[in-house]
């Protein structure tokens, strides 16, 4: 694997850089630079998606026939790096990076024809219905029922920790359509219109005060059987396929490198001369570089038509734990200015329920540091906890 950029790749980098320079407004840059959640501001993220879609770059990893770019591994990585460097807000992964790959891999032609172009344009905005109050990491124990009645399923149950369910118009759900000898059997992957009668969304307010997460209650919700992706009862297979893309379908290293650069720039005078803190930064830089090499190898496999496989677990573990480390170092650099709660300093991914303006609060980066620290505590839990990922690696890679 040659890690030096070719002349053609450098030309592509300049093209991407020029696009970001002309298409990113100050408001869009701020939404990316100062975001305090995994997700950018919903309206600004959709605005940016529309601009990317007009350029043909909203879903570069999709097959070309569905609107993808046909880029090489190097081009994907360059794009990710330039996006992070420019401060562009990320797009919601729920549709483009998660549900869409599941549809491309397992959906019917009718499902692909209807949902993919609308997902690409942002007309359909997805949320994910996996976790339940007693079924998180042990997802196979889920209980939301889907009882068949003719050409419909009648759905009853609850989903929790559902990101952006308050603004989504569709949800991809795992439901129990039958009870079998193993909990993984009898689960179906179902697409549900969030405007259906019988759906109630209630907010969950995070430690940072943002309303991004929700719980959803389904009461006799009628869903066409035609909305099942893959086979009825075969949803566990579809979900595992999707989770590979959620855990490792994108690279962490480009954004981590930018986070490291921003941290160095935000350090107060003299802090970079402190041997102990400098050693922590050096260790982080080495670990990020090692992750970058691993991700390039994994993306090479993806470019050959493969799925992320167990590399997804490695990337998820390492990427989220390094993000947590970066927020810890940022909080250390913030010093006394990182002690307050100042959500107005950032650009949250949802409404803030209890804003608290403060004067003389210190540098903006220092004010945002505790908000990102709290948010990143969830990184090692979502998309399958890192403990679960290590179990997957032990079984799949070591055969234990």
Catalytic residue numbers read 246
Token representation of residue 130: 């996996």
Q: Say if residues 125 and 168 touch (Cβ distance below 8 Å).
A: yes
Give Cα separations from 284 to 147, 287, 321, 331, 375 (angstroms).
50, 5, 11, 15, 19
Q: Say if residues 294 and 226 touch (Cβ distance below 8 Å).
A: no
d(CA 368, CA 126): 28
Helix count and strand count (H, E) for the chain? 13, 8
| Cβ neighbours around 7 below 10 Å, total | 7
Helix (H) / strand (E) containing 250: none
| Cβ neighbours around 188 below 10 Å, total | 26
Which residues partner with 200 through β-bridges? 217
d(CA 224, CA 347): 38
Q: Could you give the 3-state DSSP secondary structure of residue 63?
A: coil
């Amino acid at each position: 694997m040659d890690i030096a950029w070719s002349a053609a790749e450098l030309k592509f980098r300049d093209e991407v850089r020029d696009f970001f320079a002309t298409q990113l407004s100050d408001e869009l840059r701020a939404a990316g630079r100062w975001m305090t959640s995994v997700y950018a501001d919903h309206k600004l993220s959709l605005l940016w998606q529309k601009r990317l879609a007009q350029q043909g770059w909203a879903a570069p990893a999709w097959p070309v026939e569905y609107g993808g770019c046909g880029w090489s591994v190097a081009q994907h990585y360059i794009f990710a790096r330039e996006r992070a460097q420019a401060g562009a807000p990320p797009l919601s992964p729920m549709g483009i990076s998660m549900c869409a790959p599941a549809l491309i891999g397992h959906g019917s032609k009718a499902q692909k024809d209807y949902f993919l172009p609308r997902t690409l344009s942002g007309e359909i905005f997805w949320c994910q219905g996996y976790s339940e109050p007693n079924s998180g990491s042990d997802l196979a124990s889920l209980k939301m029922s889907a009882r068949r009645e003719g050409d419909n399923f009648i759905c009853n149950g609850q989903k929790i920790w559902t990101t952006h369910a308050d603004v989504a118009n569709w949800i991809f759900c795992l439901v129990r359509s039958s009870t079998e000898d193993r909990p993984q059997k009898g689960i179906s992957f179902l697409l549900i219109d969030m405007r259906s009668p019988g759906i109630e969304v209630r907010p969950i307010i995070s430690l940072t005060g943002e309303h991004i997460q929700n719980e959803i209650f389904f009461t006799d919700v009628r869903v066409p059987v035609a909305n099942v992706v893959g086979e009825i009862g075969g949803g566990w297979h579809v979900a595992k396929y999707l989770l590979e893309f959620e855990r490792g379908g994108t690279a962490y290293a480009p954004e981590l490198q930018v986070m490291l650069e921003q941290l160095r720039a935000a350090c107060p005078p003299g802090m970079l001369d402190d041997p102990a803190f400098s050693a922590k930064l050096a260790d982080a830089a080495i670990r990020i570089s090692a992750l970058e090499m691993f991700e390039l190898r994994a993306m090479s496999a993806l470019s050959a038509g493969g799925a992320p496989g167990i590399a997804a677990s490695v990337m998820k573990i390492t990427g989220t734990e390094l993000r947590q480390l970066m927020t810890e170092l940022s909080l250390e650099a913030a010093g006394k200015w990182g002690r307050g709660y100042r959500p107005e300093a950032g650009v949250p991914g949802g409404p803030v329920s209890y804003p608290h303006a403060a004067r003389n609060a210190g540098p903006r980066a220092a004010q945002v540091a505790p908000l990102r620290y709290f948010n990143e505590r969830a990184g090692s839990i979502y998309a399958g906890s890192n403990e679960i990922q290590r179990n997957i690696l032990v079984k799949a890679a070591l055969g234990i």
